[in-house]
């Protein structure tokens, strides 16, 4: 049966994503060696139940990595179904962005840039950090003590009062005060803080594209080898239409054509693919594996004692002794004859 393709013209780097071991699925990054791998789609199986199986295969060399982009709604299906095979090498970590709200993600960094903070807000977070400040032609290096707001007289005869932010730096044994509006440049001297700020900005930039999520797989091995990847994701159902061709010559038999209408909603070109259309309705379900899950844990309070001395029971023993004495004196006296 011929097929009508609705194929996007965009092409992106094809990546491999695997579920060879669930323990390999992590959030974060890994150093990538070599050129990015381009693994094209070679097989597509579409079911009338609204899911499709996609298989990539190709050759890679050495240590490399590849990236595949999915719609956010497809990540659950990818995490549930994808499998990767590296013949002659090893599958490294598979990374994908967290589904935590962006505010929670940004709050996990040492420098929180959520809420569009001003320069003063950022500097307040960086108290204790060593920075280099450029003020005009002068460069000052010191540790941030904090910011303060002072009132400044401006205008004719100083009649107008404005508030001005000032940055206090500890430079050597001296405390230097710099007006914040005079700062023309600021550099962090702490490499770790620079890295944290860069990661926060990268997370913020990635959050802009909420419809697409990158999934990266890292390969480790030597020499040329074949790899293969397969996964099941939600796809539009394929549709059929028929044409009855009736020739003018009554002696010629009519012919019936059946066409399948298939939409390619992926970022990958379907070139030289093996396309299979299945009319069955396999069991399909959705399982939320992408959303981070947290559980409530009980809180155990430590036992507190008023004193480290062992408990004594002298009072109770004294009461028993007193009762015993009282009972002995209370015996009835013998009657006289």
- Is residue 247 assigned to a domain? yes
pLDDT confidence of residue 33: 47
Pairing, β 41-47 against β 51-61: antiparallel
Neighbour order of strands in the sheet with 130-135: 174-179, 160-171, 138-154, 130-135, 183-188
Which mean pLDDT values do the consecutive 10-residue runs of the chain (337 residues) have?
38 32 36 64 91 92 87 88 89 82 77 83 88 89 89 76 87 88 88 88 77 84 90 91 92 93 90 90 76 84 69 64 64 53
What is the Cα–Cα distance from 11 to 110, expressed in whole angstroms?
A: 37
Residue at 10 is within a domain: yes
Specify the number of domains making up the chain.
2
User: What single DSSP character describes residue 48?
Assistant: T
**Domain boundary residue, one of 206, 227, 261:** 206
Is there a single domain that holds both residue 72 and residue 23? yes
Do 59 and 123 lie in one domain? The reply is no
Check whether residue 11 and residue 145 sit in a common domain: no
Boundary (domain end) residue, out of 171, 206, 241: 206
Q: Supply the pLDDT for residue 183.
A: 87
Dihedral (Cα; 193, 195, 198, 200), 10-degree rounding: -70
Q: What is the DSSP string of 285-327?
A: -----SS------PPPPPP--S-SSPP--HHHHHHHHHHHHHH
Pick the last residue of a domain from 224, 251, 278.
278
pLDDT tens digit sequence for 235-271: 999 999 999 999 999 899 999 999 999 999 888 889 9
Same domain (yes/no): 115, 202: yes
Note whether 110 and 199 are same-domain residues.
yes
With the CA atoms of 270, 274, 277 and 282 taken in that order, what torsion angle do they form, in degrees rounded to the nearest 10? -100
In a domain, 143, yes or no: yes
d(C-alpha 87, C-alpha 193), whole Å: 41
* Residue 109 covered by a domain: yes
For residue 142, tell me if it sits in a domain.
yes
Q: Are residues 80 and 136 in the same domain?
A: no
Phi, psi of 241, deg, nearest 5: -145, 150
Per-residue model confidence (pLDDT) at position 159: 73
Q: For residues 271-308, b (16+ Cβ closer than 10 Å) or e, as one string? A: eebeeebeeeeeeeeeeeebeeeeeeeeeeeeeeeeee
Please check whether residues 12 and 71 belong to one and the same domain: yes
Residue 28 and residue 57 in contact, taking contact as beta carbons nearer than 8 Å: no
* 166 CB-contact burial (10 Å; exposed 0-12 / middle 13-18 / buried 19+): middle
Q: What residues contact residue 160 under an 8 Å CB cut-off, 6+ apart?
A: 153, 154
Gap between the terminal Cα atoms of the chain: 133
Strand 138-154 versus strand 160-171 pairing type: antiparallel
Model confidence, pTM: 0.57
Q: What is the DSSP letter of 269?
A: -
Query: Which residue reads 């009554």 in tokens?
Result: 250
Q: What is the pLDDT of residues 57-74, one digit of tens each?
A: 989 988 998 888 888 888
Residues 143, 118 share a domain: yes
Structure confidence at residue 117 (pLDDT): 85
Residue 66 lies in a domain: yes
Segments in the chain forming alpha helices (H): 75-81, 102-107, 119-125, 191-207, 314-329
CATH number of the domain where residue 119 is located: 2.30.30.720
- 269 and 243 inside one domain: yes
77 shares a domain with 21: yes
Q: Is 298 part of a structural domain of the chain? A: no
- In this prediction, residue 315 carries a pLDDT of 62
Is 228 found in the same domain as 181? Answer: no
Q: Is residue 35 part of a domain?
A: yes
CA 118, 120, 126: angle at the middle one, nearest 5?
110
Residues 202 and 109 in one domain: yes
DSSP code per residue over 148-192: EEEEEEESGGG-EEEEEEEEEEEETTEEEEEEGGGEEEEEE--HH
SS3 255: strand
Q: How far apart are CA 281 and CA 239, in angstroms?
A: 14
State which residues form the domain around 156.
Answer: 105-206
Task: Please list, residue by residue across 131-164, b when 16 or more beta carbons sit within 10 angstroms of its beta carbon and e when fewer do.
Answer: bebebeeeeeebbbeebeeeeeeeeeeeeeeeee
What single-letter DSSP state applies at residue 87?
T
């Amino acid at each position: 049966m011929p097929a009508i393709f609705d194929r996007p013209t965009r092409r992106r780097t094809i990546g491999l994503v695997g579920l060879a071991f669930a323990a390999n699925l992590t959030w974060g990054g890994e150093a990538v060696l070599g050129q990015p791998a381009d693994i094209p789609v070679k097989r597509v199986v579409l079911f009338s139940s609204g899911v499709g199986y996609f298989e990539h295969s190709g050759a890679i060399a050495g240590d490399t990595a590849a990236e595949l982009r999915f719609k956010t709604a497809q990540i659950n299906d990818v995490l549930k179904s994808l499998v990767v095979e590296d013949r002659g090498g090893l599958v490294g970590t598979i990374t994908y962005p967290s589904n935590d709200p962006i505010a929670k993600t940004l709050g996990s960094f040492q420098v929180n840039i959520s809420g569009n903070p001003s320069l003063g807000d950022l500097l307040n977070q960086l108290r204790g950090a060593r920075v280099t400040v450029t003020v005009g032609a002068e460069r000052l290096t010191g540790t941030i003590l904090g910011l303060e707001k002072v009132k400044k007289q401006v205008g004719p005869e100083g009649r107008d009062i404005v508030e001005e932010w000032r940055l206090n730096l500890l430079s050597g044994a001296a405390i230097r005060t710099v007006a914040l509006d005079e700062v023309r440049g600021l550099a962090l001297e702490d490499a770790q803080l620079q890295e944290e700020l860069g990661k926060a900005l990268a997370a913020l930039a990635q959050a802009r594209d909420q419809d697409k999520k990158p999934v990266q797989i890292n390969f480790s091995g030597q020499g040329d080898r074949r790899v293969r990847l397969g996964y099941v994701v939600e796809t539009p159902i394929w549709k059929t239409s028929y044409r009855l061709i009736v020739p003018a010559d009554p002696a010629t038999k009519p012919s019936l054509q059946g066409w399948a209408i298939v939409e390619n909603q992926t970022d990958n070109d379907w070139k030289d693919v093996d396309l299979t259309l299945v009319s069955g309705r396999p069991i399909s379900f959705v399982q939320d594996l992408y959303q981070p899950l947290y559980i409530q844990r009980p809180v155990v309070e430590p036992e507190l004692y008023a004193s480290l001395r062992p408990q004594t029971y002298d009072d109770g023993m004294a009461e028993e002794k007193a009762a015993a004495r009282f009972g002995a004196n209370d015996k009835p006296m013998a009657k006289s004859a």
